[in-house]
Amino acid sequence: MADGLPPLNALRAFEAAGRHLSFAAAAKDLRVTQGAVAQHVRGMEARLGLRLFDRHARGLRLTEDGRRYHDQIARAFRLMEQATYDLRPGGRSVTISVTPSFASKWLIPTMPDFTARHPDIELRVLATEALSRFRADGVDIAVRFGVSQGLAGMEARTLFSGEAIAVCAPDLPGDGMQGRTLLHHSLDLWPAFLETVLGQAHRDHLPGPRFSQITLAVEAAMAGQGVALASPFLVARDIRLGRLVQAVPGTLATSQTYDALCPREDLADPSRRLVFDWLCAAAERETCSLT
């Protein structure tokens, strides 16, 4: 390293701590211990002869010197990331982390629209239920349900509401919910749906098969195994194609939403900004088509 320049690991720790305003969050981002991040920052402060952070009971706050330094260091890391990014073979790519249900039921069928608009940008889809650590997992943008609140440094845009409707195969025997099997998934929405939408009392334990993902419950519904609950946008295509119908009228409203998330500073990259804005616009078009 050049004379006087702090070690690269210390600079990374400082950049992450300044971005999250938390040693704990920075440590999680970098996959090191909180003590290691704090030690790196203390070493930098001793080396530079000034305080970079004010420590408070509720977290960290950059000093004026720290803020100016962090702006420059963060910009330098973005330049290095972009330089490395531009060396990748096959042109520009953007990785989107989504849940398997969101990927199979909405994102993948919608991707041809993006490819037609931006053939020079390659979309890469990481389908996982786990929460993504953007830099550590190589993720540029994430879409998650009900987790956007309180995420420091993130740009969060709502794509879809968390409403749910009941769907089943068109030829499923029975009428309404009478005598039909309930198909459960990880969000466990049936108790609220029965009480709020249908005005029915329910037992503590509702029988029926249980699936780890929404898309599995929807696939079971299409196979004629019962009635599943899903957000309208997730089943809109299957309803249009006649593979599903709404089993009963009514929609369960929830306070949670599907949100697109990206570190604010990363949206300075044109490719990430294009993908982020396209996601929001495509979701808005889908929502308008459902009303």
> 201 in a domain, yes or no?
yes
Q: What are phi and psi of 240, to 5 degrees?
A: -65, -35
Q: Do 154 and 264 lie in a common domain?
A: yes
Instruction: Tell me how many domains the chain contains.
Output: 3
Q: How far apart are CA 63 and CA 289, in angstroms?
A: 49
The answer for 21, left when phi > 0, alpha when psi is -120 to 50, beta otherwise, is: left
> 21 in a domain, yes or no?
yes
pLDDT in tens, 17-38: 998 899 998 898 888 999 999 9
**What does the pLDDT read at residue 203?**
64
Q: pLDDT tens, position by position, for the chain (291 residues)?
A: 445 789 999 999 999 999 889 999 889 888 899 999 999 999 999 999 999 999 887 788 999 999 999 989 988 887 887 677 666 655 578 999 999 999 999 999 999 999 999 988 889 999 988 776 777 678 899 999 887 665 677 889 999 999 999 999 999 998 888 889 999 998 999 999 999 998 887 666 788 999 999 999 999 999 999 999 999 999 999 999 999 999 999 999 988 899 999 988 888 888 899 999 999 999 999 999 887
Structural domain harbouring 146: 92-159+256-290
Q: Do 134 and 273 lie in a common domain?
A: yes
Q: Do 137 and 276 lie in a common domain?
A: yes
* Nearest CA among 155, 218, 135 for reference residue 143: 155
